[in-house]
Amino acid sequence: MGEAIIRGILDRGLAEADDIVASDVSEKRRSYLSQEYGVVTDSDNRHAVEGAECIVLAVKPVSLAEVMQELKGFLQPEQLVLSIVAGASVASLRDGLSHRAIVRAMPNMPAQIGEGVSVWTATSEVSQEHNKMASSILGALGREIFVSDEKYIDMATAVSGSGPAYVLLIIESLIDAAVHIGLPRELAQELVLETVLGATHLSQKSAKHPAELRNLVTSPGGTTAEGLLLLEEGGLRALLAQAIIAGYEKAKALRGE
């Protein structure tokens, strides 16, 4: 996701390549980022953040404590910290870094192609200018939605963060089923992907509730009604709800709630 942020910033012209410093423990990764995007790279986190206006934390949760320990007490009050680390609460970031100007965000996987959605919040110490900066950076990944209460970040983690995996599983299942009834795999994949895209765009552009749109394609006694009956009997709706709830509980557990 860190690479997606670099790409988005450069594509939107929010900064020049030589204004961006990417820090990574892997020499191979640093070399790749330097060659691919022309950014400055560093293996020293303290050196990398020195003089930076915005510091993006895009590390794995297991590495966060070590990174925060390196940076604790080193950041300047006017520097903005933007964290996309899953499960890392504002309180844990504030305490771990001894820093108060923090933005916590939850982007999702489609951000890699600029089609994601990011839900974010900010502490009261984040200036209006830095709020605009965070909005611009996250906007380079797709849509960005600000929430005033941090509790919605954990909920977004369960919905938009994990959601692409559930949608992709459904897409995979539809393709396999189409192949099972005799469609060539390439044709099956094209039909399923265009169907999902079309249904999504229709839902976005229509004023009707998704249930109303579903009813429009469900003729009494027809093929769609027969398929929907099996899905309801199989508990698809309940399973998806359980998956969202389980993800939400896990997100809360990750931040120690």
pLDDT tens per residue across span 168-198: 999 999 999 999 999 999 999 999 999 999 9
Closest to 88 (Cα-Cα) out of 109, 110, 106, 71: 106
Cβ atoms 126, 102 nearer than 8 A: yes
Q: Model's pTM, two decimal places?
A: 0.88
Give tens-digit pLDDT for 218-229: 999 999 999 999
> What confidence tier does 7 reach under pLDDT thresholds 50, 70, 90?
very high
In the three-class reduction of DSSP (H, G, I as helix; E, B as strand; rest coil), residue 127 is classed as: coil
CA angle in degrees (0–180, nearest 5) for 186-190-192: 115
Burial of residue 9, with CB atoms counted within 10 A of its CB: 0-12 exposed, 13-18 middle, 19 or more buried: buried
Sequence spans of domains, the chain: 2-149, 163-254
Q: Mean pLDDT over all residues of the chain?
A: 94
Count of positions (residues) in the chain: 257
CATH of 2-149, one of 3.40.50.970, 3.40.630.30, 3.30.365.10, 3.40.50.720: 3.40.50.720
- pLDDT of 252: 84
- Out of 1.10.3730.10, 3.30.1600.10, 1.25.50.10, 3.30.70.260, the CATH code matching 163-254 is 1.10.3730.10
CA distance 54 to 70: 17
Which residue matches tokens 């895009």? 58
Residue 55 near residue 61 (C-beta atoms within 8 A): no
229 alpha-carbon distance from chain centroid: 33
- Give the integer Cα–Cα distance in Å for 42 and 27: 9
DSSP per residue over 213-230, as a string?
HHHHT--TTSHHHHHHHH
